[in-house]
Structure 1
């Protein structure tokens, strides 16, 4: 890639990020995600009874002991539904949104090009995945610190860590969640190349996320589970061990890269041969 081409790609990427994060819809989704752990923390704080052990979301009964777990519970609750919903909206809008607005053919004028536009759109969706996971962490951290004590956190292995390291583990968990959504983002990108109606691409992406999790919950299909992009979504709990168990992280990243390769290739094949009329 020549310096001029690289500069054009960088400018296109920064422009795409600027457009994405100037939308009220984007910030509304991030605020809603941040509100999830806040509402959980408020419910626990003002409930007359302590959360029963073994009931409700994982780690819910730990929030009263350490506010750090408000962010953990927020990620556990948001990962199956709320995060895929927002990522489906963003990734499903990547190409179809431009086609719907009639701006797609203008974006394809050199030096943009179809392949470069696909890559830039996907990378912007990846940035949103990370921002969405961080929104949950920030909301949980603020609410946990305001409503509960922040001290030594007890890990699943029984070891204790200080507040600083606990927050570092929480950031690492947000990275795990962002990686978990890479495959779904690629699916959304492909769906977005198939239509000029963004709502259709968004809905298809979210429905596939739900279907994958339903199939993952059926013991009769245990042979299929390792191939489902949602199979390792809740493996983030392995980051709460001492030493950290990286097995789930590695397997999850490899699985998501496989989905990225497959649906990235499908999106490329579809988009590079598609007649752009708007």
Structure 2
């Protein structure tokens, strides 16, 4: 089901729609959409999101980061330098020359503080506000879509983009690492060795944890998107909040508040490269993301279901 087909189907009942906050159709009962129709709406949303030039550009930038990091490390190594960056986050980069799989961990650590959440913030911020600005939101809101169903579809699409964006970084890093550096058994940051297959499995788990770490940003962006009819304003506000929170997370005087910032435990995925694995900070991170998703998801629903849509 394409976006055009969805809008066309909506227009047939738009004459009796109440868009101020209700979803009734004059003279007839609102039909309940079938699960197949809901799947079609989600598929349409996913395809529309991925096909946007803006989305493709964001994915291209994310895929380029591991390439640039890998080339920089290779050039530095050939020039006789070292890739050690002590004190600058997880010490993955110093291990890339020994095992290309470490480029996956390095690339995720490099993109998580800004590039990945920025991309998610742009997509989430545009989810509702972009439709309102384009004038298509009114048609998507009438039966049989409904506001709650549409909002859940939008959020699901944004979360799918979180996974896609993270996998793009991880796969790009794995390919570049395999081309430029040797692969083999992995030495963990605890000093023990694990097989390459186990290391690859941990890399996949890390990618999923990183994707889950973006759930809070996605919910925040979706809430901001319900507050305005301008996609650009929603995207800029979401990215601005993201930058502000990360700056606050670095101010020592705010140490009592920092554990509640959605970015505070982002780099806890490094504990998956320990042997044994440390789970405490990762569990805190996932719990915090679930809390942000619940709070801002509920706020987005409360705002969106009562919002007056006039265009």
2:45 is the counterpart of 1:13:
no
1:7 deviation in Å?
2.3
2:84 is the counterpart of 1:52:
yes
Deviations 1:167-222 (A, max 9, x none): 11111111111111101100000000011111111111111111111111122111
Give the whole-Å Cα distance in 2 for the aligned partners of 1:124 and 1:117. Answer: 11
Q: What residue is the counterpart of 1:171 in the other structure?
A: 204
Counterpart contact for 2:33–2:144, Cα < 8 Å:
no
The 3-state SS of whatever aligns with 2:34 is: helix
Q: What residue is the counterpart of 1:37 in the other structure?
A: 66
Deviations 1:212-244 (A, max 9, x none): 111111221111012111111111101111222
The 3-state SS of whatever aligns with 1:54 is: coil
Q: What residue is the counterpart of 1:246 in the other structure?
A: 279
Farther-moved stretch of structure 1 (129-138 vs 204-213): 204-213
Which of 1 and 2 has greater Rg? 2
Runs of 4+ in structure 1 displaced over 4 angstroms? none
Counterpart contact for 1:92–1:189, Cα < 8 Å:
yes
2:57 maps to which of 10, 28, 40 = 28
1:222 maps to which of 241, 255, 258 = 255
After TM superposition, the score normalised by the length of structure 1 is 0.96
Give the whole-Å Cα distance in 2 for the aligned partners of 1:249 and 1:83. Answer: 18
Deviations 1:145-179 (A, max 9, x none): 00000011111221111222111111111111111
What is the number of equivalent residue pairs in this alignment? 277
1:77 deviation in Å?
0.6
Please list every run of 5 or more consecutive structure 1 residues that lacks an aligned counterpart in the other structure: none
Q: What residue is the counterpart of 1:262 in the other structure?
A: 295
The 3-state SS of whatever aligns with 1:50 is: coil
1:108 deviation in Å?
0.9
2:266 is the counterpart of 1:237:
no
In angstroms, what is the RMSD of aligned CA positions?
A: 1.5
Counterpart contact for 1:57–1:73, Cα < 8 Å:
no
Give the whole-Å Cα distance in 1 for the aligned partners of 2:222 and 2:111. Answer: 21
Please list every run of 5 or more consecutive structure 2 residues that lacks an aligned counterpart in the other structure: 1-30
Q: What residue is the counterpart of 1:148 in the other structure?
A: 181
After TM superposition, the score normalised by the length of structure 2 is 0.86
Q: What residue is the counterpart of 1:67 in the other structure?
A: 100
1:124 maps to which of 145, 157, 160 = 157
